[in-house]
């Protein structure tokens, strides 16, 4: 088990929490227009300056007490979201449903194991042994292949960056799972899954209402169709009366 250098951890924590905080501020932005690049740069600079304050004057101090360090994947997803904002992209692709599902299942298993409810040693296996390098190599290879083929490049780059950060500097904690998951990222994944489920439910409801409206509009109206038959029947009766 190889742990990261303490100075590297502190520097990473300040920088990582600054990126996460800037992303949260941008997510809470309620302006009518998208955030301009100058405003985004101001938010990022202010976040960096705030997190760089010494000791317990820095919000990173308290965030570290509550959540330790942000995972490399969380920082990567936040960087991806900030990049989208910088390029004027409104719809975020930083947390697709497939990634959210994997993180939700993995987080559930790891947190249950860390609490002692599973007692399978999943979390501690992330510190070393055979499983950690194998998973890191497979994840890095899969992400590199996805980037080359152009499939979900942003998400693949975020995962690859987290794996490389762990493999080279052992950040943030020396545990592979801490590089790929943390409580905030786990909560983000759950919210993304819930939002996706609500969107699908609303879409199915709107499609069902639309199909009912189409069937109602397509139902034939009996009145106009019977008028020619009534006129023909009245004409035949008139001819019979005239003939008599």
pLDDT in the model for residue 142: 95
Retrieve residue 208's tokens. Answer: 């069902």
- Among 20-24, 137-141, 186-190, 200-204, the least confident range: 200-204
Mean pLDDT over residues 119-137, rounded? Answer: 87
124 lies in the same domain as 200: yes
Residue 124, domain member (yes or no): yes
Is position 89 within any domain?
yes
CB count within 10 Å of CB 213 equals 10
Q: Which of 3-12, 19-28, 68-77, 235-244 is predicted with the least confidence, judged by mean pLDDT?
A: 235-244
Closest CA to 182 of 64, 92, 91, 94: 64
Q: Domain residues for 41?
A: 6-210
Q: What is the pLDDT of residue 210?
A: 67
Looking at the structure, tell me whether residues 206 and 217 fall in a common domain: no
Q: What does the alpha-carbon distance between residue 202 and residue 232 come to, in Å, rounded to a whole number?
A: 51
Q: Is residue 1 part of a domain?
A: no
pLDDT tops 60 at residue 244: no
Question: Same domain, yes or no, for 34 and 57?
Answer: yes
Terminal-residue alpha carbon distance, the chain: 115
Please indicate, yes or no, if residue 41 is contained in any of the structural domains.
Answer: yes
The gap from C-alpha 160 to its chain's centroid, in whole angstroms, comes to 17
* Residue 53 covered by a domain: yes
pLDDT digits (tens, 9 = 90+) for 159-212: 999 999 999 999 999 999 999 999 999 999 999 999 999 988 888 777 777 666
Q: What is the pLDDT of residue 241?
A: 44
For 43-80, the pLDDT digits (tens) are 999 999 999 999 999 999 999 999 999 999 999 999 99
Q: Do 157 and 215 belong together in one domain? A: no
Residue 240 has pLDDT above 60, yes or no: no
pLDDT tens for each residue of 27-45: 888 665 678 899 999 999 9
Same domain membership, residue 219 and residue 112: no
Is 74 inside a domain boundary? yes
Question: Which has the higher per-residue pLDDT, 93 or 219?
Answer: 93
Q: What is the pLDDT of residue 35?
A: 85
Looking at the structure, tell me whether residues 44 and 164 fall in a common domain: yes
Mean pLDDT for the chain?
Answer: 85
Q: Are residues 94 and 104 in the same domain?
A: yes
Do 183 and 228 fall within a single domain? no
What whole-number percentage of the chain has pLDDT above 70? 82
| Same domain, yes or no: 223 and 134 | no
Q: What tokens does 21 get?
A: 């905080």
The domain tally of the chain equals 2
The answer to whether position 144 is within a domain reads yes
Whether residues 226 and 117 fall in one domain: no
Angstrom distances, CA of residue 19 to CA of 59, 153, 176, 238 = 13, 20, 21, 90
155 and 224 belong to one structural domain: no
Same domain? For 56 and 172 the reply is yes
């Amino acid at each position: 088990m190889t742990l990261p250098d303490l100075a590297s951890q502190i520097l990473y924590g300040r920088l990582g929490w600054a990126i996460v905080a800037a992303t949260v501020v941008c997510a809470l932005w309620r302006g009518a227009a998208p955030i301009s690049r100058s405003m985004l740069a101001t938010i990022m600079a202010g976040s960096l300056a705030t997190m760089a304050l010494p000791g317990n004057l820095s919000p990173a101090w308290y965030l570290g007490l509550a959540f330790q360090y942000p995972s490399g994947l969380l920082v990567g997803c936040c960087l991806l979201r900030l990049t989208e904002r910088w390029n004027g992209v409104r719809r975020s692709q930083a947390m697709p449903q497939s990634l959210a599902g994997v993180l939700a299942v993995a987080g559930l298993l790891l947190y249950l194991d860390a609490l002692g409810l599973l007692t399978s040693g999943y979390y501690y296996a992330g510190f070393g042994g055979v499983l950690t390098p194998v998973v890191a190599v497979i994840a890095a290879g899969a992400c590199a292949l996805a980037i080359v083929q152009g499939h979900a490049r942003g998400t693949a780059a975020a995962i690859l960056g987290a794996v490389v950060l762990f493999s080279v500097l052992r950040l943030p904690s020396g545990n592979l799972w801490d590089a790929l998951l943390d409580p905030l990222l786990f909560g983000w994944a759950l919210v993304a899954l819930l939002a996706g489920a609500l969107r699908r439910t609303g879409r199915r409801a709107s499609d069902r209402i639309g199909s009912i409206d189409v069937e109602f509009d397509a139902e034939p109206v009996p009145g106009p169709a019977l008028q020619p038959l009534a006129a023909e029947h009245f004409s035949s009766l008139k001819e019979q009366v005239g003939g008599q």
